[in-house]
């Protein structure tokens, strides 16, 4: 069964290391509230949760946020060698915003038809 939202099913995925209610709270948390929710979890559970969220395309970024609260050793212990990759990605500097190219001045259009009025040659 494919879920579009990690809490949309009747029960959490078997691989999810936290109860469905906790997963829902974390998923819906405001960024300023997330650290308190994550601090309440044991570090081993947080590391497993980081891997669980990281592996899903729709929660990948949240997985990196959770991974930032874990040490590299904790992630490797919980996830194996992929834990080192997750740790590295979680600690990359944020990408620089893409700046739009300066607007080019509009070239003046030249018409070969002369002025807009029609001339009649009688």
The tally of domains found in the chain comes to 1
Tell me if 66 is assigned to some domain.
Answer: yes
Tell me if 23 is assigned to some domain.
Answer: no
- Secondary element (H or E) of residue 39: helix 34-39
Tell me if 121 is assigned to some domain.
Answer: no
Burial of residue 77 (CB within 10 Å: 0-12, 13-18, 19+) is middle
Tell me if 122 is assigned to some domain.
Answer: no
| Tokens coding 96 | 């620089």
Tell me if 56 is assigned to some domain.
Answer: yes
**pLDDT score at 99:** 78
Which residues are within 8 A (CB) of 64 and not within 5 positions of it... i.e. 6 or more apart? Answer: 50, 54, 86, 89, 90
Judged by phi (left if over 0) then psi (alpha if -120 to 50, else beta), residue 36 lies in: alpha
**pLDDT score at 15:** 83
**pLDDT score at 77:** 96
Quote helix, strand, coil % in the chain, to nearest 5.
45, 0, 55
Tell me if 120 is assigned to some domain.
Answer: no
Tell me if 21 is assigned to some domain.
Answer: no
**What is the domain range of residue 48?**
31-90
**pLDDT score at 22:** 93
Separation between Cα atoms, residue 71 and residue 2, nearest integer Å: 31
Tens of each residue's pLDDT in the chain, 122 residues: 334 444 455 555 778 999 999 999 999 999 999 999 999 999 999 999 999 999 999 999 999 999 999 999 999 999 999 999 999 999 998 778 877 766 667 777 776 766 655 555 55
Tell me if 8 is assigned to some domain.
Answer: no
């Amino acid at each position: 069964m494919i879920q579009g939202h990690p809490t949309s099913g009747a029960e959490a995925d078997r691989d999810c290391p936290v109860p469905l209610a906790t997963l829902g709270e974390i998923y819906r948390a405001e960024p300023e509230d997330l650290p308190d929710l994550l601090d309440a979890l044991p570090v081993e559970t947080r590391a497993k949760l980081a891997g669980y969220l990281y592996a899903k395309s729709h929660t990948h970024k949240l997985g990196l946020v959770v991974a930032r609260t874990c040490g590299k050793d904790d992630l490797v212990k919980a996830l194996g060698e992929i834990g080192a990759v997750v740790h590295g990605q979680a600690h990359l500097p944020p990408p620089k915003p893409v700046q739009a190219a300066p607007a080019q001045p509009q070239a003046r259009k030249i018409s070969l038809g002369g002025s807009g009025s029609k001339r009649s040659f009688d």
